Every structure is written in C-alpha cells, then in structure tokens.
Amino acid sequence: MRYAEVVVEIAAESVSHVFTYRVPEGMEVKPGMRVLVPFGPRKVEGYALRLREDPGGVPEKKVRPVLRTLEDYPALLPALVDLAYWLTEKTRCLPVEALRLMLPAQMRGGRVKEKTAQYAELCCGEAGFDALLAAEARAPRRQQILLALREGPRPAAQLRALSADGFKNLVSRGIVVLRDERTLREPFVAQTPDAACEPELTADQQAVLEQILPPLERGEGRFLLYGVTGSGKTEVYIRAVRRALQLGKAAIVLVPEIALTPQMTSWFRARFGQDAAVLHSRLSAGERFDEWTRIRRGEARVVIGARSAVFAPCERLGLIIVDEEHEQSYLSDKHPRYDAREVAQRRCEQEGGLLLLASATPSLKTFARALPNMKSALGPLTLVEMPRRVQGRPLPDVEIVDMRRELARGNTSVFSGRLETALRACLARGEQAMLFINRRGYSTFVSCRSCGYVVKCPDCDVSMTYHRDGDVLRCHYCGREEKPPRACPACGSRYIRYFGAGTQKVEEALHERFPGVGSIRMDLDTTGGKDAHARLLDAFRRGEAQVLIGTQMIAKGLDFPRVTLVGVVAADATLNLPDYRSQERAFELIVQVAGRAGRAQRKGLVIVQTYDPRNYAIEAAARQDFRAFFETEFNRRRRGLFPPFTLLTRILIESADEKLAQSLAEAYEQELQALFAREPQLRRQAVQMRAMEAPVKRLRGRARFQVFCKLYARGPTPQVLAAMREIAARPVEGAQVFLEVDPANMI
Ligand code: ADP
Ligand code: ZN
Ligand code: ZN
C-alpha cells in the first residue's frame, strides 16, 4: 500500500476532507497512525485513516510524501475512527474535531515527552547467581543489591539508594547492566488487589447480576439499573467488570466528576490494582498521557473516568457502565456537543459490549425507555432494580418545613425553627451537617413568601424569569413577557419578591446564630482553583469544620460517615428553575442529598425547607419514592408536550451585530414557515415555532437570537429537523449559527 488518506490537524471547513499522500519506500504506515505531512508551505500533523494502492484520482505528480510517522503504533483504533465518523454526523462537527476527542490533547504538537528511567538488571541468569553472591561475601551492601535484582530488573535509583558505591562497583565490573526504559507516570501508587474486602452479595445484587451477566457474556444488552442510594451499586459494577476481564475484554466506568468520587476510584484500585486506569481532570498532562498509553497497550483494561473517558482506547470492549446516569455532566458543554450516554451506547453496539446505565434517580428520559410501550429513538432499555439499602440500613428521615408558616410566625431568617433546633442538636453531639442551596446566578423568579405563589408562564407551565433590564418577566421557552406583579395575584400579600438566598448569605446567618462554629463554603467562588474542590472536601472529611455549605456541586456521590444532618435551605430555587426539568432536578437533588445523610451507623435526618410543601416532587422525594414521582411527572410532560414526548430544538444565532442576529433569526423562521406552506404534512411535526431573543440575550459581548422549535418526537427523526440542520450548516458572514437538539439548558 503506497498511499495514505490523511485528515490534517487543522480545524477549518475548507480543509475538512481527506488528503492523499504517498508513503515513501521503507516507511511503515498503518491505518490509525498519526503522521507528519507537508501542507502548503507548512508541516502539519495528521491522521492516516486509510491506505490504498492508488492515489485515488489525484495526479501522481501532485501527491506529496508523508514526512514521518509520529508514533510507531496506530494511536487511533479502527473502532474509534468509526465512532468519530458517527460523531461528525451526529454533532455536525468536522472529522478532525471528532478525532481529537479520541486522543489525549497533549499528544498533539508533541507536547508530552515520554519519560525514561534507568533500569538495572543482572548480567547473568539464575545459574551463576549463587557464585556471584558468594564472591561478595565481604560486601553486604553489594549482596543486598544482588538479592534485590534476583527478582528481576529494578530502577537504578532504588539500588543507588541502597549503596551508591556498591552499585557503581557492580556496574563497572559488568555484573549489573543498565538500560533506559520508558516509565509510566502513574497517578496512583500500585496496589495489589485485595481479595479480603470481597463482601458477600445481597440478594438484590445477586439478582441483578444474574440478569446482566449472560448478555455481557454474549456481548450485547442495554440495561438501566435503578438502585436506591446505598443499595450497593458499586459492588455490582465491580462484579460485572470482573466478568468482562475474565472474558478477556475491557470495561469503562463513567462517573460524573471523578474528583468528587474518590471513593469509587479507591474501591476499583483496591480490587483491580494495576488493571485499573483513572482518567480525570486533576491529572497532569503527562499522567493523563501515560494512563492513556497503559490503556492503549492493554496493560490497563478497566477505565474509570469522567465524560471523555467514553473514548478510551480499549480494544475488545465488553462493558460500559454509566454511574449516576441522570447527571448533566454527561452532556458535553463545548463543541462537539455529544452526550456520553449516547456515545457509550453506540460504542457498545458497535463493539459488542453491554451498556449499563445506573442511578438512584434515573432521568425521566432514560426511565421512559424502560417502559413497555414507549418508543424512543435510542431504543428500549431493560430495567433491573435494587429497591433496598445494603444490610437493611434505613433510609434517612426526611422532614418538610413549610416556610410560609415561618413567615407567618415572624421568622424571616433563612433558617426555620426546625432546622435551627436540629442543627444545634447535631453540633452538640459533635457530628457534622451539610447545608444545600441551589442558585444559579442568571435566573431569578418571583414568588410570594406568604402563600408560595410563583409567577409562571400560562402557556408553558415553567417559572418566568425576572430580567432587571427592562424590569420584565420573561418565559424562557416561548418568549412571552409580563410586568412583575406588585402584590400577590393569589393572596394579595405585598411579600412578593425576587427569590434568592446565596451560599454566602447562608454562611453569614449560620455564624450569626452559631458563633464559633467552623464552616466550609463550596460554590463557584470558592472552588476556582484546580484542586480547590478536593481540598475543601478533604478538610471537611478530616473534621476541620462541622458544617459544609454548598451548591448542588456537593450533592454527588460523597460519603461522609459523620454527617447526620442535611438541610436543603431552599428547595424552591430548584423547583422554579426556568426549565421544564425543574421538578426532576428538585426530586433528584433532594433524594441524592438525602442519600448523603447517615450512610454509616447513625441514622440521618434531612430537612427540606420550601414555600411549596405540597409539591409532588418534594413529597415524593421525602418518601424517596421514584416511581410515584415518575408517574406524575411523566403525565405532566405528556400534557405539556415536553420531552420525551417532544424534541426541543433551536437554531441559535450569535453575532456582535445585534441587527444581523435578529434579522437572521427572522429570515430562518420565515424560511421554515415557507417550507410548511409548501409541505403541509411537515407542519404537523411541529408543535410551535418562533424566532425570538435567546433567554440570555448577550453573552461575551455578542447578541443572541434563536428560532425555537418544539417538534413531536414520534418515530423517525422529523424532516423539519433536517431542514433546520441544513440552515444551521450554512456559513454566514459575521455570525455564528448553531443547531441544538434537547440541549442541557437553553440559556
Ligand atoms: P450506592 O452506590 O448504591 O449508593 P454503594 O455502592 O456506595 O451504594 O454502597 C453502599 C455501602 O454498602 C458501601 O459502604 C458498601 O461498601 C456497602 N456494601 C455494598 N455491597 C455490600 C454487600 N454485599 N455487603 C456488605 N456491604 C456492602
Ligand atoms: Zn401570595
Ligand atoms: Zn411560555
């Protein structure tokens, strides 16, 4: 094969196709290898995806040669090249943008140097060893070095530490020889697998494994594991992973944010030792590259990592587990915008693996796929359940506090009487407490503190958002605008105002009521640094403070044995997000947070403060009753025509020129309307369509407009979506145009 089809490492529409290069005599290029090629006057890196015998229609004279290969092995596995092409279709990105996801970023531009170290070994084999040892009878240090080397090669540095002179002597006499070898920077100290910590499975764990292992062995299957907090999901993951390894296959375990799940990592390390590789954002560039290399070489066959670990270079993939599958962090927040759960499913289908999504609070969209008659573009899932906690440990008690009553009693503080009393008791016992407050900076809703009334859009049934500029309430879905009321439309109270207590305000109130009590605050302000998250959490774990105050970022998978009280300071902040998923988010938050209280021996107490105590999401969360919540919410979605019954899509236009952005939005809407006029059957695919300002109308100095379109989600992809896609793909001078389908949020 003398020619290579190369995707060059330049992210521009104009060079998005493959270029043909000649492979010079004597150079070995395999599909998937990274190569250096001439490109115009420059030399650029590229990916040799295919090899062929002919130059594919390019005149021989014009074909330039590959300059060299960048590694002596294919960095890209064939399955990952296929996956990249699927992603370009799916997310409308350039091939090179998708291929980049498959490799550690540091690999490009040769920024990571392989680290080499000196190794020492014995010149002779086992045969002459005794004689050698006897000859050094008068030099105990040298004997020590020889004995160490008898087991196999050792890093020279270790032996020098035993005796620098003795080592030098042995090397100079040729008894010990040195060589350079590539070493891997491992982010964790090697641990030998510990079989002793193998617990006996609970009946629930056993039953789940009996259902998922046979398909795993056959190389197929898609499951949703719904297991309450503390039901022992991790042990199920470990057993499934082990079976994959026994079959000679690899496994990937995705977690929402690995820095927040140190426990999961340490369990996997303890059980799989060197076979486990960890990929997360706190690794240095070098460490990340080395972990990637261990996976690529097949030395580590279990990968634990956040979203991007779904692209880990595992060969013979047998299993992908997605822990806490409801988490938003599985959606990529930058281009290419992929959903790691969908990518995982695609990889499993393509490579013959089992997909296991798991959560104590599955997302509505995922759970619906496990219903008998629900049609989904992603296909059905089989539901397996673990409804009980391990060893009969009780779920915590959840109490709901009606904040309207507090106001009626004259308490305007952020702490209800009940929370204050419970906090006092917890602190007196020397235990720890966590206080949650969920507030996103850009959204404010208007609510009545006397009766709990919240201003909602009559068309969309989501909270309207207050915009200071213009003093107006706006619906983030349909664009409807209203004047904020001066008095409560429901009860007439003047206590109707913009809602919001931040973490800082809660901390101040805490110090006022409980002088001298140590607290740690975690929010976007305090967790800016690289290691801030872990540092603050470690401090809390060590008991440096009794109270941890934070946003929902502290609600995930944490395990603090000394926490016995959890306060949700204002559940309403989540209930009233300007998002059709706000009820789902509130339910999730309370259940996950409650899962943090009393994980060890002592029973936990959770106090949820709200102005809407009868809300079904809050009531169901207090009982930890996912099914009850699901039923109600699913019907609400059906009535309100929200996903999974519809697809929310928009063409988003960003431009420094506001007029341009607006006129583009209007022109696109008209174009789609004209399409409906021509083909009336397409009209029936759309519930509503409208050009309007984006909810956040300026971002980073650019004006934002959108054409919002709600489509019925039944059967195959609607043609309207295809038309929107076509519009968004057109290059426009002075503006950027994106198509978003069911984005994580519509800001
Ligand atoms: P989940 O992820 O479902 O919330 P975990 O996997 O964190 O639950 O498990 C909860 C606790 O139960 C952990 O402390 C774990 O060590 C323990 N555990 C899990 N399985 C068993 C078992 N079969 N026997 C005893 N303890 C177990
Ligand atoms: Zn009111
Ligand atoms: Zn609306």
User: Relative to the alpha carbon of 489, which ligand is closest?
Assistant: 2
**Residues that place a CB less than 5 A from ion ligand 3:** 457, 459-460, 475, 477-478, 480
Residue from 198, 234, 558 whose mutation best tests the ligand 1 pocket (most atoms within 8 A of CB): 234
Nearest CA residue ID for atom 15, ligand 1: 232
Q: Could you report the per-residue pLDDT of 662-713, keeping only the tens digit for each?
A: 999 999 999 999 998 998 888 888 888 899 988 777 777 788 999 999 998 8
DSSP 3-state of 213: helix
- The answer to whether 711 and 718 are in contact (CB under 8 A) is yes
Provide the β-strand partners of residue 648. Answer: 710
- The answer to whether 433 and 607 are in contact (CB under 8 A) is no
Which ranges of 352-455 does DSSP label H, i.e. alpha helix? Answer: 364-369, 403-408, 417-428
Q: Could you report the per-residue pLDDT of 360-389, keeping only the tens digit for each?
A: 999 999 999 999 877 787 899 999 999 998
Cβ(227) – ligand 1 distance below 6 Å? yes
DSSP letter string over 311-356? G---SSEEEEEETTTT-GGGB-SSSS--BHHHHHHHHHHHHT-EEE
Query: How far, in Å, CA of 427 to CA of 434, rounded?
Result: 11
CB atoms closer than 10 angstroms to residue 21: 26
Q: Could you report the per-residue pLDDT of 645-662, keeping only the tens digit for each?
A: 998 999 999 999 999 999
Q: Of 398, 357, 324, 50, whose CA–CA distance to 222 is shortest?
A: 357
Q: Could you report the per-residue pLDDT of 265-324, keeping only the tens digit for each?
A: 778 888 898 899 988 767 778 888 889 999 999 999 999 999 999 999 999 999 999 999
The minimum-distance atom of ligand 1 relative to the CA of 227 is 3
- Sign, Cα dihedral of 718, 722, 727, 728: positive
Which of 495 and 534 is assigned the larger pLDDT? 495
Q: What is the mean pLDDT of residues 231-244?
A: 95
DSSP letter string over 259-312? GG-HHHHHHHHHHHGGGEEEE-TTS-HHHHHHHHHHHHTTS--EEEESGGGGG-
Nearest CA residue ID for atom 2, ligand 1: 233
Record the tokens describing residue 291, joined without a space: 């972990």
Which of 84 and 593 is assigned the larger pLDDT? 84
**What local confidence, expressed as pLDDT, does residue 234 receive?**
92
Alpha carbon separation from 333 to 256, 329, 446, 555 (Å, rounded): 13, 8, 28, 20
User: Relative to the alpha carbon of 640, which ligand is closest?
Assistant: 3
- What is the maximum alpha-carbon separation in the chain? 100
Q: Which of 229-233, 425-429, 493-497 has the lowest mean pLDDT?
A: 493-497
Cβ(695) – ligand 1 distance below 6 Å? no
Which ranges of 641-718 does DSSP label H, i.e. alpha helix? Answer: 658-678, 680-683
**What local confidence, expressed as pLDDT, does residue 565 receive?**
93
Q: How confident is residue 528, by pLDDT bands cut at 50, 70 and 90?
A: low
CA 448 / ligand 2 centre spacing (Å): 5
Q: How confident is residue 715, by pLDDT bands cut at 50, 70 and 90?
A: low
Which of 456 and 339 is assigned the larger pLDDT? 339
DSSP 606: E
- Using CB atoms within 10 A of its CB, is residue 62 exposed (0-12), middle (13-18) or buried (19+)? exposed
Nearest CA residue ID for atom 13, ligand 1: 232
The minimum-distance atom of ligand 1 relative to the CA of 323 is 2
**What local confidence, expressed as pLDDT, does residue 254 receive?**
95
The distance of Cα 747 from the centroid of its chain, to the nearest Å, equals 20
Q: Of 362, 265, 295, 343, whose CA–CA distance to 91 is shortest?
A: 343
Query: How far, in Å, CA of 253 to CA of 268, rounded?
Result: 10
**What local confidence, expressed as pLDDT, does residue 185 receive?**
56
Cβ(234) – ligand 1 distance below 6 Å? yes
Residue from 224, 235, 253 whose mutation best tests the ligand 1 pocket (most atoms within 8 A of CB): 235
Report the run of H or E that residue 722 belongs to, with start and end: helix 719-729
CA 629 / ligand 1 centre spacing (Å): 25
Which ranges of 151-246 does DSSP label H, i.e. alpha helix? Answer: 156-162, 164-172, 203-218, 233-246
Q: Which residue reads 């390019």 in tokens?
A: 58
Query: How far, in Å, CA of 29 to CA of 72, rounded?
Result: 9
Report the run of H or E that residue 3 belongs to, with start and end: strand 3-8
Highest mean pLDDT among 53-62, 211-220, 368-377, 409-418: 211-220
Q: Which residue reads 């759960």 in tokens?
A: 341
Residue 529 has pLDDT above 50, yes or no: yes
Cβ(624) – ligand 1 distance below 6 Å? no
**Residues that place a CB less than 5 A from ion ligand 2:** 448, 450-451, 453, 488, 490-491, 493
CB atoms closer than 10 angstroms to residue 735: 19
Strand 276-279 to 481-482 pairing: unpaired
Nearest CA residue ID for atom 20, ligand 1: 232
- The answer to whether 512 and 420 are in contact (CB under 8 A) is no
Q: Could you report the per-residue pLDDT of 534-555, keeping only the tens digit for each?
A: 788 888 989 999 999 987 777 6
Residue 627 has pLDDT above 70, yes or no: yes
DSSP letter string over 472-508? EEE-TTT--EEPPPSS-TTT--S-EEE----HHHHHH
Query: How far, in Å, CA of 577 to CA of 17, rounded?
Result: 43
Cβ(361) – ligand 1 distance below 6 Å? no
CA 323 / ligand 1 centre spacing (Å): 14
The minimum-distance atom of ligand 1 relative to the CA of 228 is 3
**Mean pLDDT over each residue of the chain, to the nearest integer:** 86
Record the tokens describing residue 95, joined without a space: 């091939």
- The answer to whether 395 and 594 are in contact (CB under 8 A) is yes
Residue 441 has pLDDT above 50, yes or no: no
φ, ψ for residue 313, nearest 5 deg: -80, 60
Query: Rg of the chain over CA atoms, in angstroms?
Result: 30
User: Relative to the alpha carbon of 204, which ligand is closest?
Assistant: 1
- Using CB atoms within 10 A of its CB, is residue 174 exposed (0-12), middle (13-18) or buried (19+)? exposed
CA 415 / ligand 2 centre spacing (Å): 21
Record the tokens describing residue 55, joined without a space: 């130059």
Q: What percent of the chain has pLDDT above 90?
A: 44
**What local confidence, expressed as pLDDT, does residue 469 receive?**
67
- The answer to whether 572 and 610 are in contact (CB under 8 A) is yes
Order of strands across the sheet that contains 19-22: 64-65, 19-22, 3-8, 42-52, 33-39, 68-69
- The answer to whether 29 and 73 are in contact (CB under 8 A) is no
Q: Could you report the per-residue pLDDT of 409-427, keeping only the tens digit for each?
A: 988 888 999 999 999 999 9
Q: How confident is residue 16, by pLDDT bands cut at 50, 70 and 90?
A: confident
Q: How confident is residue 465, by pLDDT bands cut at 50, 70 and 90?
A: confident
Cβ(199) – ligand 1 distance below 6 Å? yes
- Considering the entire predicted model, what is its pTM? 0.81
Record the tokens describing residue 56, joined without a space: 């594919």
Query: How far, in Å, CA of 250 to CA of 109, rounded?
Result: 29
Record the tokens describing residue 334, joined without a space: 């930058």
Alpha carbon separation from 120 to 3, 167, 461, 623 (Å, rounded): 43, 10, 71, 63
Cβ(135) – ligand 1 distance below 6 Å? no
CA 409 / ligand 2 centre spacing (Å): 16
DSSP 439: -
Cβ(231) – ligand 1 distance below 6 Å? yes
The minimum-distance atom of ligand 1 relative to the CA of 386 is 3
Query: How far, in Å, CA of 343 to CA of 353, rounded?
Result: 12
Cβ(202) – ligand 1 distance below 6 Å? yes
Which of 606 and 153 is assigned the larger pLDDT? 606
- Using CB atoms within 10 A of its CB, is residue 715 exposed (0-12), middle (13-18) or buried (19+)? exposed
- The answer to whether 735 and 653 are in contact (CB under 8 A) is yes
